[in-house]
């Protein structure tokens, strides 16, 4: 999917200078007036070297904003040569239109500047994925949570998934929170990556036994790559659900709302989780729901969040008893407040 946005002559010139200047660390790029345009380049603080790349990462915080997508063209010196990286940053809280526009334009950027000039492309939705040196070590296949490139979602799949999610938000009017690597969360068709991991029997039993006010939490054991039972509680009030959910590790939570037949699926994925954790959980969400349905649960409501603090009692109640249109006899309904 293409957006119709093109590379401006100004960006072509700026990229030519960036490409030929070894002291340039980053060339930020944005979309202005339907064209891709450059922002002020960022230089290495010292002589270019493999260590200089890591040392220069904090400088990128000056161009990263919580709700504003941006492209970052990065120079990464290695011991043998220099590699250019095309990084797309689409924050989780960015407006839907901006998400769609930047996601559908990212391939245009590299194609018109010359795909062969870039050693790799990176997609990020959190600042930590850009600024944290450990995140880069994991991409390199180093460190305790390292994963190989073959284990990651394909770049084209990520692009299509980001567009699909943004378009779904626009259609439904219910923005959800994007996380980390990506994955498919929806009907049985789509372009995203899904992983069918084995499920522990204890997890299946807990799902089958879920009762009114019960909360069952599943997670992916990264070491064994298996979906396991993280916790099971009974008599949980809506206002206290968040207190039972981990704030550091991803969770698939199934909550039977009190006094109803509604089971709410809550997917939380904290930004502090490792890349591998986020990748495995994101790509196994649909699998977790399928297992729950096979154990007799009817999942009618789904919530995504970056952490348990977003899962309030009011938010859960809103899923069970949403505001209803009372019809013309009641006149025009007042617009709902932003964020409601």
> The domain spanning residue 296 has which CATH number?
3.40.20.10
Q: Is residue 73 assigned to a domain?
A: yes
C-alpha distances (whole Å) from 113 to each of 89, 118, 163, 252 are 18, 9, 22, 41
Report how far residue 304's alpha carbon sits from residue 306's, in angstroms, rounded to the nearest whole number. Answer: 7
pLDDT category of residue 183 using cuts at 50, 70 and 90: very low
Q: Is residue 55 assigned to a domain?
A: yes
Query: What percentage of residues in the chain have a pLDDT greater than 90?
Result: 46
pLDDT of residue 272: 77
> Model pTM?
0.48
Two structure tokens written together for 152: 């990651």
Mean pLDDT on 6-30: 95
More confident residue, 122 or 81: 122
Contact by Cβ (8 Å): 187, 251: no
Q: Is residue 177 assigned to a domain?
A: no
Residues 154 and 87 in one domain: yes
Mean pLDDT on 23-50: 90
Two structure tokens written together for 25: 């660390």
Residues 32 and 92 in one domain: yes
Query: What percentage of residues in the chain have a pLDDT greater than 70?
Result: 76
Mean pLDDT on 47-51: 77
Query: Which of 1-10, 36-45, 122-131, 257-266 is least confident?
Result: 1-10
- Which domain does 89 fall in, by range? 6-169
Q: Is residue 237 assigned to a domain?
A: yes
Residues 14 and 163 in one domain: yes
Residues 165 and 206 in one domain: no
More confident residue, 198 or 332: 198
Residues 150 and 251 in one domain: no
Q: Is residue 87 assigned to a domain?
A: yes
Residues 133 and 252 in one domain: no
Report how far residue 109's alpha carbon sits from residue 102's, in angstroms, rounded to the nearest whole number. Answer: 10
Residue written as tokens 């939570």?
253
Residues 218 and 117 in one domain: no
Q: 6-20, 73-87, 96-110, 142-156 — which one is most confidently predicted on average?
A: 6-20
pLDDT of residue 338: 44
C-alpha distances (whole Å) from 262 to each of 209, 222, 302, 315 are 15, 30, 11, 14
| H-run or E-run covering 252 | strand 251-256
Q: Is residue 182 assigned to a domain?
A: no
- Whether the predicted pLDDT of 318 surpasses 80: yes
Residues 218 and 145 in one domain: no
Residues 133 and 26 in one domain: yes
pLDDT of residue 163: 52
CA-angle at 237, arms to 212 and 185, nearest 5°: 70
What average pLDDT does the chain have? 80
Residues 220 and 297 in one domain: yes
Q: Is residue 21 assigned to a domain?
A: yes
pLDDT digits (tens, 9 = 90+) for 239-260: 999 999 999 899 999 999 999 9
Q: Is residue 176 assigned to a domain?
A: no
Q: How many domains does the chain have?
A: 2
More confident residue, 3 or 198: 198
Residues 26 and 151 in one domain: yes
Residues 109 and 247 in one domain: no
pLDDT of residue 80: 67
Contact by Cβ (8 Å): 98, 69: yes
């Amino acid at each position: 999917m293409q957006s119709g946005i093109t590379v401006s002559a100004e960006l072509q010139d700026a990229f030519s200078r960036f490409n030929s200047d070894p002291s340039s660390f980053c060339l930020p790029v944005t979309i202005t007036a339907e064209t891709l345009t450059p922002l002020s380049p960022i230089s290495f603080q010292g002589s270019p070297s493999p260590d200089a790349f890591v040392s220069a990462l904090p400088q990128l915080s000056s161009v990263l904003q919580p709700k504003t997508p941006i492209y970052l063209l990065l120079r990464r010196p290695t011991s043998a040569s220099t590699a250019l990286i095309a990084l797309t940053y689409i924050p989780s809280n960015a407006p839907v239109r901006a998400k769609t526009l930047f996601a559908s334009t990212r391939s245009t950027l590299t194609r018109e500047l010359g795909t062969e000039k870039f050693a790799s492309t990176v997609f990020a939705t959190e600042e930590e994925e850009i600024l944290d040196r450990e995140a880069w070590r994991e991409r390199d296949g180093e460190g305790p949570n390292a994963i190989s490139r073959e284990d990651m979602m394909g770049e084209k799949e990520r692009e299509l998934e980001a567009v699909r999610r943004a378009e779904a938000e626009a259609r439904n009017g219910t923005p959800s929170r994007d996380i980390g690597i990506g994955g498919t969360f929806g009907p049985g068709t789509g372009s995203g990556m899904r992983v069918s991991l084995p499920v522990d029997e204890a997890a299946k039993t807990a799902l089958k036994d879920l009762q009114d006010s019960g909360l069952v939490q599943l997670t992916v054991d990264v070491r064994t790559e298996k979906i396991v039972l993280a916790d099971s509680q009974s008599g949980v009030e809506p206002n206290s659900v968040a207190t039972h959910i981990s704030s550091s590790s991803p969770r698939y939570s199934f909550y039977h709302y009190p006094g109803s037949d509604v089971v709410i699926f809550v997917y939380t994925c904290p930004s502090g989780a490792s890349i591998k954790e986020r990748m495995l959980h994101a790509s196994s969400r649909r699998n977790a729901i399928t297992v729950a349905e096979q154990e007799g649960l009817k999942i009618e409501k789904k919530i995504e969040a970056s952490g348990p603090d977003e899962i309030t009692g009011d938010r859960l109640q809103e899923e069970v008893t949403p505001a209803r249109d009372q019809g013309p006899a009641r006149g025009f309904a007042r617009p709902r407040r932003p964020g409601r």
